């Protein structure tokens, strides 16, 4: 396998950083292909915890080359803070981190506009991360954006920046808000351009060469399938193509290059921000998931809503994104629930629904059709083989695999690097008798 994509199958926060970190050890390149600093990928190595918003999760592996592809929107301020933070912790990125010269830049006023647009939406606010993502991608689509290459050529971009800010100021003027100061933005971007300079490169050429040479490339998705701008719960989505469908566009690798797709799904579901969430549980079970899973946004600190596994969303992700294998995350966080529900379909106006509705208002009115599974009380942190899991957990995991029609090839049972169960052949068809209740190491 030379090109693998890891992406989230739910509404983000599935634990992608953790899997990318594991796979990065065997990869020559890790490349982010979409999103921006709205992501928050957590990697834990020993006692050390790293939270990455923009840098690819492969930066923690000393020999991996990390790339921010052309499909990402780059906030240079956040990027530099992140680089400085890693350097302080002894992680050197020289010669192994590059930003595409074609990547669009999140300008300071994109963040201001993100917040202004949200407040203008009032009750219909999307609950964005305020990281300027929508305005930056909006500028890209309306062909008014600034790219990393432009930052290196101040004389070229000044005129573009004036035109760009002029358009946003017209909106601010209508909303009765103060205008953006062009000179201040220009001054900041000049400084940022110089800091960015050593990292800016034609990363498409680098990746094409690496692919031709048979080097291993890992494409790291951010957010999740439910937040995909085309397939997610529009308009309660982010502004990019979150799945493997975005890899070719966001890196320059040919679409045919991708030969393995790993979907990441939590054993339950979380969502942060507004939008449909049919399996949300606002009772004690949801609260327990939130507590055991420490479900607070890595980027915004907002508490995440929690609920049961949604196979309607997962199947749609499998079918549209060509998932070869699933990594099921945070199974340990379900310990202690007496009953675990699994949503196999929705019901809307008395009809069974097997695919997410196009209109988010309909999606919101869907009620889940549940199967019910017995819970378990054991701590799963010490399980390293499938047969170490209590039988109830084995039964639940098999049911999740069956409703997705896709093999689960890995189960995570804790945040630390070594806490997972590899399943190269997927979950076995029959329960595997356990030996003893696993002990917490
Ligand atoms: P934006 O990407 O900041 O524009 O936010 C749009 C929607 O996507 C909001 O509901 C956010 O909460 C959600 N979102 C964006 N990034 C992430 C993420 O990394 N994890 C989970 N939700 C996210």
- Domains of the chain: which residue ranges? 3-102+200-262, 104-196, 265-422
Atom 12 in ligand 1: residue holding the nearest Cα: 273
Q: Which CATH number fits domain 104-196: 1.10.300.10, 3.40.50.12780, 3.40.50.261, 3.40.50.720?
A: 1.10.300.10
* pLDDT score for 1: 67
Atom 11 in ligand 1: residue holding the nearest Cα: 128
Pair of tokens at residue 24:
């990065």
Query: Is residue 41 annotated as a catalytic residue, yes or no?
Result: yes
Ordered alpha helix ranges (H), 89-202: 108-121, 133-141, 148-151, 154-174, 182-196
Number of CB atoms found within 10 A of residue 182's CB: 16
Nearest to 308 by CA among 271, 336, 257, 263: 271
Look at residue 84 and give its three-state secondary structure: helix
* pLDDT score for 437: 46
* pLDDT score for 441: 46
Which mutation among 6, 7, 12 tests ligand 1's pocket best, with the greatest number of atoms within 8 A of CB? 12
* pLDDT score for 439: 45
Residue 224 CA, ligand 1 centroid: distance in Å: 9
* pLDDT score for 85: 94
Sequential pLDDT tens for the chain (441 residues): 699 999 999 999 999 988 988 899 999 999 999 999 999 888 887 788 888 999 998 999 989 999 999 999 999 999 999 999 999 999 999 999 999 999 999 999 999 999 999 988 899 999 999 999 999 999 999 999 999 999 998 888 888 899 999 999 988 888 788 999 999 999 999 999 999 999 999 999 999 999 999 999 999 999 999 999 999 999 999 999 999 999 999 999 999 999 999 999 999 999 998 999 999 999 999 999 999 999 988 777 888 999 999 999 999 999 999 999 999 999 999 999 999 999 999 999 999 999 999 999 999 999 999 999 999 999 999 999 999 999 999 999 999 999 999 999 999 999 888 899 999 999 988 767 665 444 444
Atom 15 in ligand 1: residue holding the nearest Cα: 38
333-359 CB burial, b ≥16 within 10 A, e <16? bbbebeebbbbbbbeeeeeebeebbee
Residue 299 CA, ligand 1 centroid: distance in Å: 9
Residue 157 CA, ligand 1 centroid: distance in Å: 29
Q: Which residues are registered as beta bridge partners of 164? A: none
Strands (E), 172-252: 200-201, 217-220
* pLDDT score for 299: 76
Number of CB atoms found within 10 A of residue 425's CB: 8
58-90 CB burial, b ≥16 within 10 A, e <16? bbbbeebbbbbbbbbbbbbbbbbebbeebeeee
CATH architecture of 265-422: Alpha-Beta Complex (3.90)
Ligand 1: residues with CB < 6 A are: 12-13, 38-40, 126-129, 131, 133-134, 222-223, 227, 236, 238-239, 272-273
Query: Is residue 13 annotated as a catalytic residue, yes or no?
Result: yes
* Statement: 3-102+200-262 belongs to CATH 3.40.440.10: yes
Nearest to 305 by CA among 333, 342, 272: 272
């Amino acid at each position: 396998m030379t090109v693998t994509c890891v992406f989230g199958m739910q509404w983000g926060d599935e634990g992608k950083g953790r899997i990318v970190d594991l796979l990065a050890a065997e990869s020559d390149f890790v490349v982010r292909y979409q999103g921006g600093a709205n992501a928050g990928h957590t990697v834990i190595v020993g006692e050390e915890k790293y939270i990455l918003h923009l840098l690819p999760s492969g930066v923690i592996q000393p020999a991996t080359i990390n790339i921010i592809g052309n499909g990402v929107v780059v906030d240079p301020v956040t990027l530099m803070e992140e680089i400085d933070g890693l350097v302080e912790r002894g992680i050197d990125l020289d010669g192994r981190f590059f930003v595409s010269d074609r990547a669009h830049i999140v300008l300071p006023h994109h963040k201001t506009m993100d917040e202004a647009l949200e407040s203008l939406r009032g009750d219909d606010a999307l609950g964005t991360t305020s990281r300027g993502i929508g305005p930056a991608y909006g500028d890209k689509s309306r062909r008014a954006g600034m790219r990393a290459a432009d930052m290196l050529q101040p004389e070229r971009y000044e005129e573009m920046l004036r035109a760009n800010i002029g358009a946003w100021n017209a909106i601010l003027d209508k909303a009765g808000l103060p205008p953006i100061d062009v000179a201040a933005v220009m001054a900041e971007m000049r400084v940022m351009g110089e800091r960015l300079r050593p990292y800016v490169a034609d990363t498409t050429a680098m990746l094409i060469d690496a692919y031709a040479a048979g080097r291993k490339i890992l494409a790291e998705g951010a957010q999740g399938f439910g937040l995909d701008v085309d397939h997610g719960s529009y308009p309660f989505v982010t502004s990019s193509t979150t799945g493997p469908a975005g890899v070719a566009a966001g890196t320059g690798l040919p679409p045919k290059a991708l030969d393995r797709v790993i979907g990441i799904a939590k054993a339950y579901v979380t969502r942060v921000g507004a939008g449909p969430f049919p399996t949300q549980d606002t009772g004690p079970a949801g609260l327990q998931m939130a507590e055991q899973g420490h479900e607070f946004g890595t980027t915004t600190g907002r508490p995440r809503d929690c609920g049961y596994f949604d196979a309607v969303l997962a199947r749609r992700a499998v079918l549209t994104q060509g998932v070869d294998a699933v990594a099921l995350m945070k199974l340990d966080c379900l310990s202690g629930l007496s009953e675990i529900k699994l949503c196999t379909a929705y019901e809307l106006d008395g009809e069974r629904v097997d695919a997410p509705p196009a209109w988010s208002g309909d999606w919101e009115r869907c009620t889940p059709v549940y199967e019910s599974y017995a819970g378990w009380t054991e701590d799963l942190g010490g399980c390293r083989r499938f047969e170490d899991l209590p039988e109830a957990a084995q039964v639940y995991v098999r049911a999740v695999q069956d409703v997705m029609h896709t093999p689960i090839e890995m189960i995570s049972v804790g945040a630390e690097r070594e806490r997972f169960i590899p399943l190269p052949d997927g979950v076995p068809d029959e329960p595997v008798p356990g030996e003893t209740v696993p002990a917490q190491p």
